[in-house]
Every structure is written in C-alpha cells, then in structure tokens.
Structure 1
Amino acid sequence: METLFLRISQAFGNQLNPKRWHADLLEKMFLEIPRIRPRVISQETYIRLEELMRFRHFKRYYLELNCDWRKIDYLINIFREAVPLLNEDLTSFAKKIEQSLGKPGNEEPQLEN
C-alpha cells in the first residue's frame, strides 16, 4: 500500500516532507487536488490507516517484550475495517482517473490524412 501511495504521489508531483514522509504521504492521499487528481482515500479509511501507522511507528522504535493484547485485538479490528474501505477507495480512484482521461478535451489530437 505504501508503495502504491508513493507512486500516486510521484505521478501527480506531490512533494513530501522528508522528516515526516509517512504521515505526509497519508495526508496527501486524503486530499483532493482540484484539476489534478481526486482524493485517493476517504476520511473513514484515513482514520483507520492513521491509527495503524501510529502503532507501526511506536512498535518500531519502542519495542516492548510485553504486548498489550487488548491493543493488538483492537488494531486487528481496525485493520479488518480498513481493508474493504481501502479496496473501495482505490477502485473509486481508478474509475475517476479513467473518466478524467476519457473526457473530451483530454484526448490526444488526431492526425488528419
């Protein structure tokens, strides 16, 4: 997912803050950029992915041997909620991009014989 978001960001010229690029990338995917690209993810998806990202960064830098299994169960539920939302968002994003490419005026000029 991170690689996909990075590729979308690069394709549309989004600049990321190098000091907080994970959070910045997620925020950029939530934003619609008028006349450039539609929003990639919904608010519902953003909230869930942000929660998962916070846990990922916490565990990466502050690894504990004793896990809070209630928190793990909570995050598993967040993940299960996020997956179908993300699939729906990405399908919607792809359709909007395809529609924008197919609009009159966005076509390549045809050479006349």
Structure 2
Amino acid sequence: MTNLSIQDRINQELNKILQALQQLEIFLRELSNQSDVMYQNALINSIALNFHGVYTGIERIFEVIAKKIDQRFPTGDKWHRDLLEQMSVDIPRVRKAVITEETRLILDELRRFRHLVRSAYSCQLDEEKVLIIAHQIVNSYQTIINDIQLFCHNLSKGET
C-alpha cells in the first residue's frame, strides 16, 4: 500500500470519527435540555455508543499504521493497549511516533472505558462516568487529531 492510500484510509476514518463526534456533541446538548428520565437514559446510551465509535475509529487508524507501515501488529489479550503503546514510540528507520505521550495517556483512559461500554449492559453504565469521558473526548479530540494529522503530513513528505 502506498503512502497516499494509507493517508486516504486515515482521512476516511478521520471523517467518520468527526461525524460520530458531532453526533456525540448533539446528544450532550440535548441531554442538558431534557427532563424525561427515559429519554435521558436513551441519550446516555447513545453517547456511550458514539464514544465507542470514536475510539474504535482511532484504533482502526492505528491498525492501518501498524500493519502497513510498521509491518507488525500486536497480538494477545492486551493487543489494544499494546497497539496504543506502539503508536506512541518512534520505530527507528520506520517512522516517528504517531501520538505524543500525553495523547497516549488520554487514549488509554478512553480505551479502558470503551472496554467497559462493550462489556456492560446499557442499564449498568455509570451515567456520570459516561458524561465525564464524553466531555473528555470532546475536549481532547483536537489534540488527538493534530497528532494524527502531523503524522500524515510527515508521511506525505516521506518523513515517517
């Protein structure tokens, strides 16, 4: 796969992530205007699902980079965490780090919460935690995307 097609795949995923993030922001605004408890619960579940989509999209970008550029993809029970770690380090003669350590720490917390969302019934989700994480991803989205876009810029210049 050429660097251009890798960038194209990353950009396609970034567009999908942006759509999910915009939906997440709409749900957060709607939640603050609602008094109906059943509707609030539905919005919390929708927020958690959109959060899951945002994190999964970021992880898909990292999978493309790991498989197509690094030529190595983590395996085992902890591959999600290991993939995140792999993206935060330089690989000599292959590529610079895709994300900063600061971004890795943010994403690691989001990764752990995403696991909870995947594993729990919607009635088991902690509303307060869902909202904290949702606001965190909204507030840190630009930092995460800036890291990925800088990587793409370096990729286009052949400076991976």
Global fold match (TM > 0.5): yes
Cα deviation per residue 1:44-82 (whole Å; 9 max; x = unaligned)? 221111111101112322436243222112101211123
Pairing partner for 1:78 from 118, 133, 136: 136
* Change in 2 beyond 3 A, CA 1:39/1:86: same
Residue deviations 1:74-95, cap 9 Å, x none? 1012111231112101111112
Mapping of residues 33-48 of structure 1, within 5 Å: 33-48=91-106
- Matches of 1:48 and 1:24, distance apart in 2: 15
State how 1:1-16 maps to structure 2 within 5 Å.
Answer: 1-11=58-68, 12-16=70-74
Q: Is the 8 A contact 2:89 2:97 kept in 1?
A: yes
Aligned pair 1:27/2:82, yes or no?
A: no
**Selected match of 1:51 from 109, 118, 138:** 109
- Which stretches in structure 1 are left out of the alignment for 5+ residues? 102-113
- Secondary structure of 2:158's match? helix
Match of residue 90 from structure 1: 148
For 1:53, give the aligned amino acid.
R
Indicate the SS of the match to 1:22: helix
SS in 2 for 1:93: helix
Contact 1:32 1:38 in 2 (8 A): yes
Residue deviations 1:1-57 (CA, integer Å, cap 9, x gap)? 222111100112123022211111111111111221010111222111111110111
- State the alpha-carbon separation in 2 of the partners of residues 70 and 63 from structure 1: 16
Q: Any unmatched runs of 5+ in structure 2?
A: 1-57
Superposed CA RMSD: 1.8
Question: When the two structures are superposed, what TM-score results if normalisation uses the length of structure 2?
Answer: 0.57
Length-normalised TM-score, structure 1? 0.77
